[in-house]
Structure formats: structure tokens, C-alpha cells
Structure 1
Amino acid sequence: MKSFYLAGAASLALLLTACGGGSDAGNEAAANESAAGAEKAGNEAAHAEEGAVTLTAEQIAAAGVQVGRPIVGGAGTIELPAIIEGDPQGTQVVSAAIAGRVVALTRNLGQSVGRGQTIAVIESREAAQIKGEVEAARARLQLANSNLAREQRLFSQRVSPEQDLIAARTAATEARIALTQAQSTVSAAGMGGGGLNRLGIAAPISGQIIARPVTLGQTVAADAELYRIANLGQVSIALNLKPEDAGRIRPGNVVTVKAAGRQATARVTFVSPALDPQTRLVPSIATLDNRGGQWRVGEPVTAAVELSGSGGSGAIRVPTTAVQTNEGKSVVFVRTPKGFQATPVELGDASGDTVIIRSGLKGTEQIATTGSFTLKAELGKGEAEHED
């Protein structure tokens, strides 16, 4: 019996020893697992805080950071300086077809003129010659018509042969042609009334006088410009585009024209297929309604030209002031309950003072539209402290 108790005690001791050793190993394993979990949680927390800027609402206001939402929809635009010009289809130069002395100028700059009204008179020996040819041709035609009437009467009385009638009819026809040619010469010179040695220059179109480079009494050469007339009910916007921008602009695209206290909408009507040899830019023209007379030829304006294929109606755009670069990546600061989060984005085409966001934003977020540089500086401070 004694041996049985000794054996039982020895077995119990061995069992307790075994249980005690197993407990120490389990505690050590549990401690290691807990440490690993804490380290993982710490890494996840650090990762979550990466790019975060913690600021209160008061600090955000004091830093001058403004919050807004991205712009969703609408086409992209580019802004560039432009000049108001007269519509090429409604502008015409009035020139002197003959050399002479300007003895009358009936219109001043800015005045209106109707088509066919005499706006200048030139005195010239050539004018006398041209008008003399008209008068001579008219006299010859009268004589030829009189001879033709006489020959027709004699032929009907069987006094004159048919050959004389035919000759008289031919002479009358030639005289009529000569008169028409002389009158066409006067018309080609833009000449109206005046004395024998004076020719009046008539306005070829209705409109306003926008240039008058000659003065009264000046002697001008043939083809010298006397006036420039423009129908200013419609004006043109002269644009010079970069080649990379010209490829994204088509006739019909909308152009928003802005000047001091004014704004209007024009349409692109022409994009040149060739570059200007001097500027290496692409000339383009937009047409603007000016029946109200608020735009003046030669006036500098700002034109925001709509781009074709700039993202469509669902495009997301943000102000260029909202985009910063962090560690080589473009980021936008998105508002969070604790401040802001630097969110990486992929940029698209620039669109005036905005830029298209291809990916990274949904368009419903609140973002820092201004003051993002301050947030970038705060982010840099936080990362430096984290490294320390």
C-alpha cells in the first residue's frame, strides 16, 4: 500500500510539473501574439494618418483655407487674350480707282453711311477724260439711233437698200456697246456725280466709317484707301491659338468674351489649317453679335474658348489652386471630420483656371479650393515630426 501511495504521489508531481511548463509556454505565445497585433494596429494607424492634416474649424478659418465642391459637368475651356475686329464679310475698303486730288470727304469717323451715297469727290484730269468718253459715247449712240431711224424709214419707202439698213443697225449696236463700256469704267471707279473733272466715290455697302486715312486736299494715287466701312452689327474675335490647343477647337465651339463690365457669347467660325509664319500660332476667328453696339473694333478682350472632347458632361473639375504636389504625386485636400486628407488624383487637361480630374475624386467631396499650399506645409511638418 505504501508503494502505491508513493507511485501516486510521483505521478501527481509529474503531472503538475507538465501542466506548469505548458502554462509558461502558452503565456509566452500569447504575449508574442499580442505584441504582433499591437504592432500591426500601430502600423495601420500610422498608415491611416499618412497624408492627414489635423485642424480644427477655427484653425482652418484662421489659415484662410476655403472649402468647396468640385465642378461636375460642362466643357473645358482655355482663356487667352483677343482683339475685336470688324467682320471680314461686313468690312470693305473704299479706294480711289484714279489718281487725283481729294476735294470732298462727306463722312467722318464713326458716322453711318448708306450704300450708294457719295462719300468722297476726287478732282482729276483722268476723271475728265473718263467722263468725256461717256459723253462722247452717248452722243455717238444718239447719232447712230437717228441714222437707224432714217434708214428704217427709207427702207420702208423702198428708197434705200436693205444693206444700208443693216449697216445703220450695226453702227447703233456698236455705239450702244461703247456707251456701256464707258459707263462701266465710271462704275468700276466708284464714281458718282460731280463736275466734268470731278468724280464722286460712292459707298459700296451700308455701315459705319471705321477708318479715314486721307485728308481734304490730299493728292492720292490710284487705289489709295479713302475709307474703311464696316457693318458693325456683327464683329469678329481674332484669336491666336497654340497648335496643341487648335486641335481641340472646332467651328461652332462657344467663346465667352469678357471685358470691363461686359460679357457675351460668340461662336468659332474659322480655325486656320496652317500656322502663321511669324508667330507660329494658329489664327482663328469667332463671330460675335454686336447689334447693341457694345463692342468696339480694336478693343482688347479676354476669350474663354470651349474645348472639344474635354471630358463631356460628367467631367470633374477643380480650381488649379486646389491641386498640390506631394512626393511627386498630384493631390487634392479632402475635408474630413478632423481636418483634411491629401488624396492622390490623376489630372487631365487644363481648363482655364480649372483642371479636369480623371480619377481620385467622385465629385461629391468637400475640398480645399484655396489655401491648399498652407495644408501642404502643415502636412510636411507632420511627416517630419513622425519621422523624428
Structure 2
Amino acid sequence: MRKGFALIILSILIFSLGCGAKPADNKDAGKETKGKLVSALTVKKQEQPLLLSAVGIAEPEQEADLFFNASGILTGLHVTNGMKVGKGQLLATLDTDTAENSVSSLVLADAQAELAKKQTDLERVQKLYQEGVATERDLEDAQREVDRQTNQVAQAERSVVATNLKAPFSGIIAEVMQQAGQTVSPGTPVMKIVDLSKVKIVLDVPNDLISQYHVGQTAAVTSDGGKQEQGKVTAISPVTDPQTGKYRVEITLSNGTGLWRGGMVAQVEVPRTLSTGIILPLSCVGVNQDQQYVLAIENGVAKRHVVEVGQIIGDSIEILSGIKPNDRVISSGIAYIGDGEAVTVKGE
């Protein structure tokens, strides 16, 4: 696909260059030339790294809609929009059926008492096992009883805790969706919390560029205000989004200054990987049937060199093979110059 695309681009370019070819300047007209006047350049390796630029959108490191697992009246709402909260902080309380609450509390108390008894039994069996009185089977049975009762306590705690809504992580309350006094059902969102201590810059990357990104890669991230920070590629989706046909790439960066907020636009740059480091203007490369070529100047004669091309980068193209540094190649109008034709470089 890449080869076919390059052929199409190059064919269009050659046609446009050919139609726009100009005669030699008057200052060269009076000079005696040994061949057709041409423009040329010397092939060099790209020394400065080329950057691949993309636009992304900032997202919070974590975000969650918070809700109760029980129905009832929202009696306590302890936060407002924009408030910072810590992990485990009480955010809201729910008044469920009083009888139900009483039963849940009694069940929890009984379960905790039973667990304490099971733990005492386990300690006694462990001591007897060390003295050689209890068997390994007795020890395993006692441990199994403690584990079972621990699960019972956890289940009872969940029934009681269902009336308290606590922050699952430190962050900022982005939106409070309910009001005190309202009746809420299980699973109904009460508020949204976001963690902006770090942010993810999300890119949608097309198939032909996804190979340029890898996890751990450093990226320069610039805000609309021009402030640049360093981030790292932390996730690359293995499949394309069915709607966009592109890959999701996440770049994570610290947000200690609070500069970044969800939804902000960011410019992201990563170093572009090149196979050979040789980049030529598209006007240097011609197409002949299914091959790409350049015209190198050797002893005053144009010599066709078949080349393998790589990425198209703006108005330039990567050359994978077929030429080497310090070669001289004709830089324009190559559709009008034949293989083996005598040429003279303008100004030389």
C-alpha cells in the first residue's frame, strides 16, 4: 500500500513539474554548455532528528462516576463542584430504611464477634500443632473457618457502608449531579471525581504512522499557551477504533502545576525514525512503470538509479536504498531528462 501511494503522489508531482518547467535563465543562455542545464543537489544524511507532530486531547489520569449501591434519601452532601478531596474522604450519606440499617448493623456485630472467636480457635490449634497434639488437618480446618468468617464480615460491612459514599482516590469533584433531599436509586450517579495529578494526552494515529510510536518513548507536549513539557508514551492500542479507523496512543505527563485540564488541546512531537537518514525533495524522484528512480550526475551524464522509497514527509521522501551520501542528483524536471543524457549543472 505504501509503495502504491508513493507512486500516485510521485506521478502527480512529475506531471505538475513537467508542465511548469521553465527555460534556462537569460544569464545562462549565452554560455556554451556541454549538455542540458539542470539543477542538482548533493545527497546528505539527515543530521538533526525529524519530528513527527500530532494534535491530541488531554484527559484525566483517573475519573469515575460515584453512586450508592442502595436506594434512599440523600441526607448529606459534603462536597461542591471543584472541591479537592482525599482518598477515603466522606462525600455523601444516604438514609435508607431504619429497620434495614439496624438489621445490617446487628449482622455486622455478630459477624465480627464470630470472627474473633474463630481467630482465638486458630491460635489455640496452632499452639497444639506445635506441641504435636493437633494434626495438620486440624490446622487447615481452623484456618479455613477464619477465612470463611472474614468473608462474612466483609459482606456485612458492605451492607452498612452502602449508606456512605467515599472518594476512591484523591482528586477533584468535577460535577455534583444530585441535591440533598433527593431520592436516589442504586447505581444512579451522584457525582463525578477526576484525578488531574497526571494527565493523558490522547492521539488518534493513522496506520501508516503508528510504527513511529512505542511505549516509553519521550514526547514533547505543548499547550495552546506555548508551554512545553515532557511526557512519555504509556499506552498504544493494539487495534483501531472502529469509528475513526485509527489507533489510540496515550502520552502521560505530570500536572503538578495544574496547567492541564480535561479537554485541552495539545501539540505533541516525537522523534521520527528513519531507516537510512537520507531525505530528498519529492521533485528528485521519478516514476517509471512500477519503479521509483533518481538521476545521478556521473561525469557530466545523467544516470538513472532505481531507488526504494520509504515515508513521505511533507514535500520530501525517505530513500531506503539506491543512492548514498555525497552522490549528486538532479533536483527538478527529471521527466524531461533521459538516462545517459549529457547535463550541465546551472551555475557551475
- Give the TM-score taking structure 2 as reference length: 0.58
Cα distance in 2 for partners of 1:351, 1:249 equals 16
Inter-partner Cα distance in structure 2 for 1:131 and 1:219: 17
Distance in 1 between residues matched to 2:79 and 2:326, nearest whole Å: 59
1:103 aligns with 2:71: no
Q: Distance in 2 between the 1:179 and 1:252 partners? A: 43
Q: Which of 243, 248, 251 is the matching residue for 1:283? A: 248
1:326 shift after superposition: 8.5
Cα deviation code 1:94-129 (max 9, x no counterpart) = 22212233333322233210122111122333xx35
Q: Distance in 1 between matches of 2:150 and 2:233?
A: 50
- Residues 139 and 217 of structure 1: CA distance in aligned 2, closer, same or farther (over 3 Å): closer
Give the Cα–Cα distance (whole angstroms) in 2 for the partners of residues 363 and 215 of structure 1: 74
Alignment of 1:50-65 (within 5 A): 50-51=38-39
Residue aligning to 2:202: 238
Q: 2:106 pairs with 128, 132, 136, which one?
A: 136
Which is richer in helix?
A: 1
Q: Which residue of 1 aligns with 2:35?
A: 46
Amino acid at match of 2:261: R
**Are the counterparts in 2 of residues 71 and 363 from structure 1 also a CA contact under 8 Å?**
no
Q: Which runs of 5+ in 2 are unaligned?
A: 1-30, 116-145, 295-304, 337-348
- 2:112·2:153 contact (CA, 8 Å) conserved in 1? no
- For the pair 1:225 / 2:189, whether they are aligned, the reply is yes
Structure 1 unaligned runs (5+)?
Answer: 1-40, 53-68, 146-172, 190-198, 332-343, 366-371, 380-388
Contact 2:51–2:271 (CA under 8 A) maintained in structure 1: yes
Contact preservation (8 Å) 1:78, 1:352: no
- Taking structure 1 as reference, are residues 177 and 213 closer, same or farther at Cα in structure 2, changes over 3 Å only? closer
Matched-pair contact (CA < 8 Å) for 1:100–1:221: yes
1:206 is the counterpart of 2:170: yes
Structure 1 residues 357 and 129: CA distance shift in structure 2, 3 A? farther
* Partner of residue 304 from structure 1, selected from 269, 276, 281: 269
Structure 2 matches for 1:85-124, cutoff 5 A? 85-87=59-61, 90-124=62-96
Aligned to 1:252: 216
Identity of aligned residues (%): 24
Amino acid at match of 1:50: V
Deviation at residue 222 of structure 1 after TM alignment? 0.9
Name the SS of the counterpart of 1:72 in structure 2: coil
1: distance between equivalents of 2:84 and 2:327?
55
Q: Which moves more between the two structures, 245-254 or 290-299?
A: 245-254
Measured in 1, the distance between the counterparts of 2:293 and 2:189 equals 57
Q: What displacement does 1:202 show?
A: 1.3
Q: Is the 8 A contact 2:68 2:165 kept in 1?
A: yes
Partner of 2:35: helix, strand, or coil? helix
| Cα shift at 1:229 | 2.4
CA shift, 1:131, in A, is: 2.3
Quick check: 1:79 aligned with 2:53?
yes
Q: What is the aligned counterpart of 2:238 among 266, 273, 276?
A: 273
- Match of 2:73, SS? strand
Q: How many pairs were matched up?
A: 256
The alpha-carbon distance between structure 1 residues 268 and 231, as it changes in their structure 2 partners (threshold 3 A), is same
Q: Does the 8 A contact of 1:137 with 1:175 survive in 2? A: no
Secondary structure, aligned partner of 2:56: strand
Distance 1:363 1:130, change over 3 A: farther
Query: What's the offset of the Cα at 1:132?
Result: 1.3
User: RMSD in angstroms over aligned alpha carbons?
Assistant: 4.5
Decide whether the 8 Å contact of 2:308 with 2:319 is kept in 1. yes
Mark the CA change 1:281 to 1:178 in structure 2 (over 3 Å): closer, same or farther. closer
Q: What's the CA shift for 1:295?
A: 1.1
Aligned-partner Cα distance in 2 for 1:175–1:70: 71
